[in-house]
Structure 1
């Protein structure tokens, strides 16, 4: 079982991957949107911003999201770590319901290039 610290480390790796990504990925992520990731098994959420192609100001908070972020992810901590480590395919996880992604239509169209 993963811990909140494992999930925080995975999000830090994701932020590093975004920062080191090529221009196409950075352009796709060049939104300025609030972001939340609720980890159902740990009953914690991480909130932050996706801005200028980077993941910033990510902080853990207890429980489900208290406000509606513009981009919302819901999954288990195990799935978050597996996604970031490349052991879980996002499209398959999303299609099977293991991962939920909610965002506006325009944001979804831009984010699909990251997948």
Structure 2
């Protein structure tokens, strides 16, 4: 099982990858959204805000509450690290129940284009 710190570091690296996407593409595909990534085996939720400036205000909260987020993801800590490292395909993880997603189809398509 990965640690909370490892998950946070991985999410920050994902935020950095998004920062590296050209601004014109971010403006084209990013709509301001609140994000929540629940990590059930650690009983934590990482919350953030996504806009054309990137992923901002990343913070960690204890417990399972993701109700206020517009885009909600859930994955165990090891799977989260594999997903962010590109070693686990998001569609395959979703199809096998290793990744749970609650978001509009349009949001998912736009995020997939960017990442």
Global fold match (TM > 0.5): yes
| Corresponding position of 1:97 | 97
Q: Give how far 1:22 is off.
A: 4.4
In structure 2, what is the Cα distance between the partners aligned to 1:41 and 1:50? 25
Q: Give how far 1:29 is off.
A: 4.8
Are the structure 2 counterparts of residues 62 and 31 from structure 1 closer, same or farther at C-alpha, using a change threshold of 3 Å?
same
RMSD: 1.9
| Corresponding position of 2:78 | 78
Q: Give how far 1:114 is off.
A: 4.0
Bigger drift between 11-20 and 50-59 goes to 50-59
In structure 2, what is the Cα distance between the partners aligned to 1:28 and 1:39? 30
TM-score, normalising length from structure 2?
A: 0.88
In structure 2, what is the Cα distance between the partners aligned to 1:29 and 1:46? 22
| Corresponding position of 1:15 | 15
TM-score, normalising length from structure 1?
A: 0.88
Q: Give how far 1:112 is off.
A: 3.7
In structure 1, what is the Cα distance between the partners aligned to 2:32 and 2:53? 9
Bigger drift between 25-34 and 89-98 goes to 25-34
Matched residues, number: 115
Deviant stretches of 4+, over 4 Å: 22-25
Gaps of 5+ in 2: none
